[in-house]
Chains A and B, each alone.
Chain A
Amino acid sequence: MKKSRDTPGSPMIDARHIGPPTRRAFLVGAASALGAAAAHALLAPWPGRAADVPVDPTRVPGAPATDYGRRSTFEHARRLATPQRSRTPLQALHGIVTPSALHFERHHNGVPFIDPARHRLLIHGLVTRPLILTMDELKQFPSTSRLAFVECAGNGGREWQGPAGVTVQDTHGLTSVSEWTGVPLATVLREAGLRPEASWMLAEGSDAAAMTRSLPLARMDTALLCYAQNGEPLRPEQGYPLRLLVPGWEGNTCIKWLRRLKLVSAPRMTREETAKYTDLMPDGAARQFTFEMDAKSVITAPSGGQRVRKPGYVEIRGLAWSGRGRVGQVDVSVDGGRSWRVAQLQTPVLPACHTRFRLDWRWDGREAVLQSRCTDETGYRQPARRELVALRGVNSYYHYNAIQSWKIDERGDVHNVQV
């Protein structure tokens, strides 16, 4: 957890403990900036070295075009990775789209290496005609694109037991937004012809976990079989070449590296829907098939691990989302939930998608506890931690969506607290 913190968007807020270099080497190495040698050096492909930055970029020819772009040498936002997951640096993002390279990861036995030319989707079980489809064929179906978040059911899971994460990346980094492109599940299923008894669908991945979930067809009318993310083919860690997307549902239902759909009349009760991804209640009963991700929000600036430099203007920024539709309203409190102000929502406000919110604030230099609270279009309001724990105890691990509190101390340092 003592990993690097990434630079937040606001100039008023510092990222403390910055790991990667932030040295400003504008002058270093620029002695011959206008000479032919220096110009030639600059024509080398990215990444340019910080030491090569010219004094005045208007006086030196720049780098040539490249076949696949990359970000500036000066940008360091990165995922926090362990072998089976990595977390999105929400504190470093702007707007609502997550760059594909920063989309969080969760896999159950590694990212498989798949040749799309050899990949097949098998549809069988309660269908009139079992089908095999190639990737080429899948891309020929009528296609559609939409923005949607994918959030791991375990996002924030460690917070049940008390404040665990330091940064918002630790506490909320298992959610990301992409524009997903693919073919509606319904379109492909019609191709195989559903038999009347078909009511559930087993979806299986071709990773080393052969990750498998049973999903109820009646509630999946917005599901897509996706082959693209943010305009290009899926990233390997996002299911290349094919994944399921059920907008608003816990991430593990959106089976990646999808190779098989079996139509059945009852759930198969796989390990991932019995032993895992079920929510244990204090009485020993476990909730099963808890698909939707409930309304949630979090302030990303100022947020844990950052520092508000000095009293004065601060734009409070954050993200809100709901698996059950659009965000209706976000309220922000700077006094630990005693009073609330309505935040401004940035358009577009889309169903099952992150929505950016903002609020003008003047920090008076005294201790403050910042919170945000999302109400979605169904009228459901994100619960206080107290409320959620009273209902579910602290051992259900999944589906933690309590209001997040960030305490700003008198020095301006921001801490994860629970009030």
Chain B
Amino acid sequence: MCRCDGLLCRGVLLALLGLSPVAAWGGDAGGAVGLGRTATDDEIRAWDIDAAPDGDGLPAGGGTVGEGTGVFAEHCARCHGATGVEGPMAALAGGRGTLATAHPMKTVGSYWPYATTLFDYIRRAMPFDAPQSLTPDQVYAVTAWILFRNGLLEQGAMLNQTTLPRIQMPHRDGFVPDPRPDSR
């Protein structure tokens, strides 16, 4: 973050002191209130579906571009088109080199900074009409296929929790922190 507002500074300061910023918020009730119960590992596992850029959270399993061809044809093509760009819904490839033009085209290949985000999003939200219906292997495979369509994977490639985070996305360094207020 470019700006150092009071709160942020406080957060940084507390972090340096080894305290979580939130611990300093103080509270109406003093300590813990004693509500709720400890979540079990099974309960956490059932909902803990996010994946981070370093691969944290990616499930076991894997899939190849070849397998992804079939997954895409069966579960995705009707909305995204046979090769992922015909629509009617969002184009999933193309647009490289357009971001700084008058007609930018934001796609997985041209805009998304992390390949893990693609896995995470498909796993949680696609297919749109049946979210969370694919197995981890299917999600790896269709992720591989979309990256292949964007020229970011070889035809024979295989994705899993080790290989996926290693993919360098073209727009990886294209994001900047919020510089606002930028006008006065």
Binding site for B on A (CB under 8 A): 108-109, 122-124, 129-134, 137-138, 140-142, 184, 186-187, 189-191, 193-199, 202, 204, 208-210, 212, 216-219, 221, 259-260, 262, 264, 266, 268-271, 274-275, 278, 280, 282-292, 294, 378, 380-381, 383, 387-388, 391-392, 395, 399
Min CB distance, A123 to chain B, in Å?
Answer: 8
In the complex, are the beta carbons of B33 and A280 less than 8 A apart? no
Least CB separation from B17: chain A residue = A196
Q: Which of B22-30, B61-69, B79-87 contacts A (4 or more CB under 8 A)?
A: B22-30
Task: Specify which chain A residues have a CB less than 8 angstroms from the CB of B121 in the assembled complex.
Answer: 270-271, 275
Instruction: List 9 A-B residue pairs with CB atoms under 8 Å apart, sorted by A's residue number.
Output: A141-B35, A142-B28, A184-B28, A186-B26, A190-B25, A191-B32, A218-B11, A274-B114, A294-B181
Contact partner of A219 (CB less than 8 A), chosen from B7, B125, B181, B183, is B7
Chain B contacts of A383 at CB under 8 A? 183
B29 near A217: Cβ-Cβ < 8 Å:
no
A-B contacts, CB under 8 A, total = 208
Note all chain B residues with C-beta closer than 8 A to A264.
52
Instruction: State in angstroms the CA–CA spacing of A140 and B71 once bound together.
Output: 47
Q: Residue on A with the closest CB to B120?
A: A270
B128 to A: closest C-beta gap in Å: 6
- A122 B43 Cβ-Cβ under 8 A: yes
Contacting chain A: which of B134-142, B147-155, B171-179?
A: B171-179
Known: A129-B38, A186-B25, A219-B8. A210 touches B181 (CB 8 A): no
Is there an interface contact between A210 and B52, defined as CB atoms closer than 8 Å? no
Bound together, the chains give a CA A174 to CA B11 distance in angstroms of 31
Q: Mark B112-123, 1 if CB is under 8 A from A, else 0.
A: 111011101100
CB pair A190 B27 closer than 8 Å: yes
Q: Is the CB of B39 within 8 A of A190?
A: no
Q: How far is the CB of B95 from chain A (nearest CB, A)?
A: 11
**Bound complex: CA of A105 vs CA of B123, how far in Å?**
25
A198 touches B120 (CB 8 A): no
